[in-house]
Structures are given as C-alpha cells and as structure tokens.
Homo-oligomer: A and B are copies of this chain.
C-alpha cells in the first residue's frame, strides 16, 4: 500500500493546502482499479531560433485514457549566457533541470501534506548543481558532460511537529518522478531527419 493511502484518516480528508484531497484519493483509486488510466505521455516541441537560443512549446499530453490540452499554451526559451557563448535570452537548459526537481518534490509535498491532514504555511527550496565544462567542451575524457552533483535544501513550516514535516518531504522525494529520472537515469532514443 502506498503511504499516501495509509494516512490515519477515518473520514475522507477535506481539501487542504489548495489540494482537492477527495479528488486526489479518487484518482489513486481509479488508477488502482484500472491501471491503464495511469499511462501518460508528455510532449514538447522545440524550434531553434539562432545561436544557442531555442524555444519550446508545451501544449498537450495524453493520459487517464485520453488526450488533454493544457489550459495555457506554454512557451519557454533557453539559451546560454554570454560567458558560454550565448545571449542569455533564457536560462540554460541545465537550470531547467533544477527547476523541475524543486517543483516536482514541492508539488508532492502539497499533496502528501493534505493527505496527512497537515496544513502547510511555507515550503521553500534552493537547488544547486555543480558542473565542470571540461566535459562538454571536450577537454577531458575524465569529466562528464552533465552535473556532477545536485543539492536541494528544503525549508518547510506547517501545523505539525518537525518530524512529521520532515517525513512529508521524505515521502515526496521517494515518490518524485523527476528525482527518480535524475538519480537513476532513463533511456533516451534520438532520431534524426535531414531536409
């Protein structure tokens, strides 16, 4: 049983922390009964604009048995800063990884706290990633291209004792999709069409 399901509730939780807890529990139960509803596909399209700058669009995804369109058609640029031969028109792609990590664990904290009947007052985090450009510049075969280490530090406050708040963060980390991908890796297939 998932820990999110074993919170010591007798009656259904009311919405809390801005989380519609009954909907959360209904979602868990729906996927439990019909596992195929849990199959999702996320998608991004990207277009090179010039130099090291490109723009991505995030518009639709599939899951829960159907196709979905985001309420907003999201668009994000990414670039290199001047010191890395770009024009700093967007963050570096590697910074978006850190944003994804913080946002994923934080979303889970909101959900898990609600499921456990804890009202949060604040959740803040800071993420740092160490990278040695000797890798991507091809100057040393001993240096990897990507981050060598990432650190994320959370500061959390709410109406529960420290150990309960701490356990919420820990449970969110243990169930985080982004934490899993970043720490364990994932197969990536690359295909190329020329025109």
Determine whether the beta carbon of B181 is less than 8 Å from that of A182.
Answer: yes
Cα distance A103–B72 in the bound complex, in angstroms? 20
Determine whether the beta carbon of B186 is less than 8 Å from that of A146.
Answer: yes
A14 at the binding interface (Cβ < 8 Å): no
Cα distance A151–B43 in the bound complex, in angstroms? 10
Cα distance A183–B23 in the bound complex, in angstroms? 34
Nearest B residue to A168 via CB reads: B192
Determine whether the beta carbon of A166 is less than 8 Å from that of B192.
Answer: yes
Interface size on A, residues (CB 8 A): 138
Contacts of A143 in B (CB 8 A): 38
From residue 88 to 124 of chain A, which have CB atoms closer than 8 A to chain B?
88-111, 120, 122-124
Contacts of A42 in B (CB 8 A): 92, 94-95, 98, 128-129, 131
List 26 contacting pairs A-B, 8 Å CB cutoff, sorted by A: A32-B139, A37-B133, A38-B133, A40-B130, A40-B131, A43-B129, A44-B98, A46-B103, A46-B124, A48-B109, A54-B106, A70-B81, A78-B104, A78-B107, A96-B103, A97-B178, A101-B188, A136-B175, A151-B188, A154-B193, A156-B192, A157-B195, A162-B194, A182-B186, A183-B187, A184-B185
